[in-house]
C-alpha cells in the first residue's frame, strides 16, 4: 500500500537522482524498441550501462537478438518523470462521466450506413 | 543534386510499403512537402476550433454544450499531435505558429465560412468532419511514420465528432418543427459545396498530386476521395429529408456512384487567396488569442526559472 512504501528502502522513486556512479552501480537505462518502421518505439525493459553508447550496444544484445527491432531509444531512468499512483483519482477520474466523448454515445440509424 | 542511387533506394523502399521514420534518409522534396502538409493540417485543427467555439456559449442545452466543448478540446489535441509530428522533421513549433499567425501558412479553407445558426454546428460535424475523416482514413497509410501514427490516433477520436453532428441534424431536420427543418436545410446548403471543395482541386489540376502519390504521402487522389464522400453522404442526407443543393446530382447505375455537378473553383481559389467570408476574422482572432495568452507563457517560464534557482540553492 502506498503509505508503507516510504519505509521500504528497496523502493527507490523512479526519478531519484542516481548520478553517483560506482563500479557496482552503473546508471539504469530504460530501453525502447521499434519493432518495425511505422510502429512507435515501445518500452522493452531496462539495463545498466556507463553511458548512452554502451546502453545502445547492450540493448542491442539484450533486447534484439531475434530481430525484435529496427531502432533503439535509450533514456536514463533517472530522467523519466512518472505520475504518482496516488494521483490516479484526480488525474483520470474526470474522464469517467464524459461518456459523450465516445462514438457509441450517439445513436445513428442503421439505414444511413457506417459513421 | 541528390544522389540518384539514394533516391532510387528511397523510392524502392516506399514502393515496398515501408514507412519512413524521422532519422531515415529522405529526399529534400519529401521532407519539404511533409512539413508543409502536416503544418497546414495542424493549423486547420487549430483554426477549426473557431467556427465551433462561436456556439459554445449559445448551445441549446447543457448536453449539447458539454459535447461541443469536448469536440473543440479534441481539435486542440489534434493540432498538438500534428505539430509534434511536424517537429520530427526538424522544424520548430514557434516557426510554425509564427507562419500561421502572419498569414504565410495556409489552413483548410472550409474554416473561413461563418457559423450563422446552431444548425451549422450540426452540419460541420456531419459534413466537415465527415469529409475530414474520409481524407484522414486514407492518410493513416501515408508513408511517413509519425504522420501516419498521428492520423490513426485522430481517426479514432474523430468518429464521435461526426456522429454528434449527425445527431444534431436528426433533431432539427427529422424531428424538428418547420422552422428547425428550414434551418437545417439552409445550413446544409451552406456547407455542402465547401465540404466537397475540402478534397482540393481535381487531380488533373493539382500541382503536387503526382509526386506525392509516388512517394505515397498521399494514398488516394482528390477526386476519388471526394466521390467516396458523396456516395456516403447522399443517403445520409436523404434519411434526414434534406434536398441536396445540386440539380445535377443523380445515381449512376453504370458507374455505381453518384454523379454530381461542377464545383465552383473560382470561389475555392478566392477563399484560398484570403478573400473568403471569414479569413481576416479567423486570423485576427487567432492573433488576439496568441497575444493575450503571452503572459501565461511568460509566467510558466518565470516559474520554471524560479524553481531551478531554488533547487540550485538547496543543492549548494
**Where do the DSSP E strands lie in chain B?**
250-252, 257-259
Give A9-18's long-range contacts (Cβ < 8 A, gap of 24+). A14/A77, A14/A80, A14/A81, A14/A82, A15/A78, A15/A79, A15/A80, A15/A81, A15/A82, A16/A78, A17/A78, A18/A77, A18/A78
- Confidence bin at A33 (pLDDT 50/70/90): very high
Q: Which of A66, A19, A72, A21 is nearest to A45 (CA)?
A: A72
- ipTM for the predicted complex comes to 0.82
CB atoms < 10 A from the CB of A9, how many? 6
Q: Please tell me the distance in Å from A36's CA to the nearest CA on chain B.
A: 9
The full 3-state SS of A84-108, as one line of letters, equals CHHHHHHHHHHHCCCHHHCHHHCCC
Q: Rounded distance, CA B92 to CA B70, Å?
A: 28
Residue A3 has pLDDT above 70, yes or no: no
The answer to whether the beta carbons of residues B54 and B113 sit under 8 Å apart is: no
CA dist., res. A69 & res. B84, Å (int): 23
Task: Tell if the CB–CB gap between B164 and A101 is shorter than 8 Å.
Answer: no
Subunit contact A105:B160, Cβ cutoff 8 A: yes
The DSSP code for B180 is H
B164: chain A residues, CB-CB within 8 Å: 100, 106
What pLDDT score does A9 carry? 47
Contact residues, chain B, for A20 at CB < 8 Å: none
Chain A residues contacting B via beta carbons under 8 Å: 34, 36-40, 71, 98, 100-103, 105-109, 111-113, 115
The pLDDT-based confidence of A2 (bands split at 50, 70, 90) is very low
In chain A, the residue whose alpha carbon lies closest to the alpha carbon of B13 is A37
Grid cell locating B225: 476521395
Interface test with B, best of A94, A96, A106 (most B CBs within 10 A): A106
Cα–Cα distance for residue pair B200/B256, rounded to 1 Å: 23
pLDDT at residue number B177: 98
CA distance A73 to A25: 21
| Closest-CA distance of chain B to residue A39, Å | 7
B67 touches chain A (CB under 8 A): yes
CA distance A95 to chain B (A): 11
Output the tens digit of pLDDT for each of chain B's 316 residues.
568 999 999 999 999 999 999 999 999 999 999 999 999 999 999 999 999 999 999 999 999 999 999 999 999 999 999 999 999 999 999 999 999 999 999 999 999 999 999 999 999 999 999 999 999 999 999 999 999 999 999 999 999 999 999 999 999 999 999 999 999 999 999 999 999 999 999 988 876 778 999 999 999 999 999 999 999 999 999 999 999 999 999 999 999 999 999 999 999 999 999 999 999 999 999 999 999 999 999 999 999 999 999 999 888 7
User: What cell numbers appear for A47 in the block?
Assistant: 539495463
Amino acid at each position: 500500500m502506498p503509505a508503507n512504501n516510504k519505509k521500504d528502502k528497496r523502493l527507490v522513486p523512479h526519478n531519484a537522482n542516481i548520478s553517483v556512479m560506482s563500479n557496482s552501480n552503473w546508471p539504469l537505462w530504460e530501453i525502447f524498441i521499434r519493432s518495425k518502421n511505422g510502429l512507435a518505439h515501445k518500452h522493452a525493459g531496462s539495463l545498466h550501462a556507463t553511458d548512452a553508447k554502451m546502453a545502445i550496444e547492450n540493448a542491442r544484445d539484450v533486447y534484439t537478438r531475434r530481430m525484435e527491432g529496427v531502432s533503439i531509444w535509450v533514456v536514463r531512468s533517472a530522467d523519466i518523470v512518472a505520475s504518482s499512483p496516488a494521483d490516479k483519482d484526480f488525474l483520470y477520474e474526470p474522464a469517467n462521466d464524459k461518456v459523450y466523448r465516445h462514438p457509441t454515445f450517439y445513436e445513428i440509424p442503421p439505414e444511413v450506413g457506417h459513421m | 543534386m541528390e544522389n540518384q542511387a539514394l533516391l532510387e533506394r528511397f523510392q524502392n523502399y516506399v514502393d515496398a510499403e515501408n514507412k519512413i521514420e524521422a532519422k531515415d534518409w529522405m529526399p529534400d522534396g519529401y521532407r519539404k512537402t511533409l512539413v508543409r502538409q502536416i503544418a497546414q493540417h495542424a493549423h486547420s485543427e487549430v483554426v477549426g476550433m473557431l467556427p465551433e467555439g462561436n456556439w459554445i456559449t449559445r448551445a441549446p442545452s447543457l448536453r449539447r454544450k458539454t459535447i461541443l466543448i469536448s469536440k473543440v478540446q479534441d481539435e486542440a489535441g489534434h493540432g498538438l499531435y500534428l505539430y509534434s509530428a511536424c517537429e520530427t522533421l526538424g522544424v520548430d513549433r514557434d516557426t510554425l505558429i509564427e507562419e500561421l499567425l502572419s498569414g504565410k501558412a495556409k489552413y483548410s479553407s472550409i474554416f473561413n465560412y461563418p457559423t450563422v445558426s446552431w444548425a451549422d454546428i450540426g452540419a460541420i460535424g456531419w459534413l466537415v468532419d465527415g469529409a475530414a475523416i474520409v481524407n484522414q482514413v486514407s492518410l493513416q497509410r501515408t508513408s511517413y511514420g509519425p504522420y501516419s501514427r498521428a492520423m490513426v490516433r485522430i481517426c479514432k477520436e474523430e468518429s464521435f465528432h461526426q456522429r454528434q453532428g449527425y445527431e444534431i441534424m436528426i433533431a432539427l431536420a427529422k424531428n424538428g418543427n418547420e422552422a428547425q427543418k428550414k434551418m437545417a436545410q439552409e445550413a446544409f446548403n451552406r456547407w455542402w459545396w465547401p465540404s466537397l471543395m475540402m478534397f482540393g482541386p481535381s487531380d488533373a489540376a493539382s500541382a503536387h498530386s503526382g509526386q506525392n502519390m509516388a512517394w505515397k504521402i498521399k494514398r488516394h487522389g482528390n477526386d476519388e476521395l471526394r466521390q467516396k464522400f458523396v456516395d456516403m453522404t447522399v443517403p445520409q442526407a436523404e434519411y434526414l429529408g434534406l434536398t441536396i443543393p445540386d440539380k445535377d446530382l443523380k445515381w449512376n447505375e453504370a458507374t455505381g456512384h453518384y454523379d454530381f455537378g461542377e464545383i465552383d473553383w473560382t470561389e475555392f481559389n478566392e477563399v484560398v487567396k484570403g478573400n473568403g467570408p471569414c479569413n481576416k476574422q479567423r486570423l485576427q482572432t487567432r492573433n488576439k488569442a496568441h497575444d493575450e495568452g503571452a503572459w501565461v507563457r511568460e509566467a510558466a517560464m518565470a516559474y520554471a526559472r524560479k524553481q531551478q534557482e531554488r533547487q540550485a540553492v538547496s543543492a549548494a
